[in-house]
């Protein structure tokens, strides 16, 4: 029996879409850490080397996957100057909800600035809402950055408690630490304990975006674009 690099006939060609879909499937079921080139390849019944025809590397695959998730956000409603704030809060909540469906995907937009078409559409839509609200140009531009950092970080933090079996173990450990706080060492935490443990994820997220929008409406537009001006 002659040895060859081929034990079975070549399979029909894959596609970027097939690779991304396989990645999303693994992501949804097992979280971002399970999305390895080998695991995704196995999902497609092939070897890891085959994926490199369609994606540059793992990071490239993750970026493509994130943009697919961004594509799940509903942007069909036109900005309405009378309801822009409500629309904005809804949009940000929807973005987080989309990321919540794919545990850990929020690490991707934190690790590099998303430039995929769906991410760009989302940013453009967000800017449109701020313009409908007559927000100053530079404030609007910088606000997009700030609020995306918050939304992504909030989504990522939640995904840890969802992703693995240690969800409750983690939460318990934190609560235990809080319960055992020494009032001499941490007087402010001890005094504010009821407030610190109040509210769930959704309430705190809603508080965060309301706070940021109120801040936007109550801040001077930033000065100084280029240094020295």
Partner DNA sequence: ACCTGAACACCGTTCAAGT
Q: Under the criterion CB under 7 A, does residue 170 sit at the interface with DNA?
A: no
Pick from DNA, a second copy, none: which does 11 bind, CB < 5 to 8 A by kind?
DNA
CB of 102 to a second copy, least distance (A): 16
* Max CA pair span of the chain: 78
CA distances (Å), origin 97, targets 69, 130, 172: 10, 21, 24
Q: Under the criterion CB under 7 A, does residue 57 sit at the interface with DNA?
A: yes
CB of 207 to DNA, least distance (A): 35
List interacting residues with a second copy (CB under 8 A): 110-113, 115, 120-121, 123-125, 127-128, 131, 137-138, 140-143, 145-146, 149-150, 152-154, 156-157, 160, 170, 173-174, 177, 181, 185-189, 191-192, 194-196, 198-200, 203-204, 207-208, 210-219, 222, 224-227
CB of 51 to DNA, least distance (A): 7
Do residues 71 and 118 make contact, with C-beta atoms less than 8 angstroms apart? yes
The span from the first CA to the last CA of the chain, in angstroms, equals 76
Do residues 63 and 22 make contact, with C-beta atoms less than 8 angstroms apart? no
Q: Please say which residue, 57 or 198, places its beta carbon nearer to DNA.
A: 57
3-state secondary structure of 192: coil
Chain centre distance of CA 168: 22
């Amino acid at each position: 029996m002659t040895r060859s690099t081929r034990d079975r006939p070549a399979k029909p060609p894959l596609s970027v879409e097939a690779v991304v879909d396989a990645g999303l499937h693994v992501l949804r079921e097992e979280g971002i850490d399970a999305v390895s080139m080998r695991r995704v390849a196995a999902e497609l019944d092939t070897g890891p080397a085959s994926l490199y025809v369609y994606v540059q590397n793992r990071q490239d695959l993750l970026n493509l996957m994130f943009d697919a998730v961004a594509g799940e956000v509903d942007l069909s409603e036109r900005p309405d100057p009378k309801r822009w704030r409500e629309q904005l809060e809804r949009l940000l909540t929807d973005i987080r909800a989309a990321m919540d469906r794919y545990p850990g995907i929020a690490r991707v937009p934190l690790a590099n600035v998303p430039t995929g078409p769906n991410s760009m559409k989302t940013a453009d839509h967000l800017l449109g809402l701020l313009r409908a609200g007559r927000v100053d140009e530079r404030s609007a531009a910088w606000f997009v950055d700030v609020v995306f950092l918050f939304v992504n970080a909030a989504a990522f933090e939640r995904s840890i408690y969802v992703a693995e079996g240690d969800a409750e173990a983690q939460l318990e450990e934190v609560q235990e630490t809080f319960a055992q706080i020494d009032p001499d060492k941490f007087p402010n935490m001890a005094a504010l304990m009821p407030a610190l443990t109040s509210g769930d994820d959704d309430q705190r997220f809603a508080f965060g975006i309301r706070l940021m929008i109120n801040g936007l409406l109550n801040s001077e537009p930033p000065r100084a674009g280029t240094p020295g001006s």
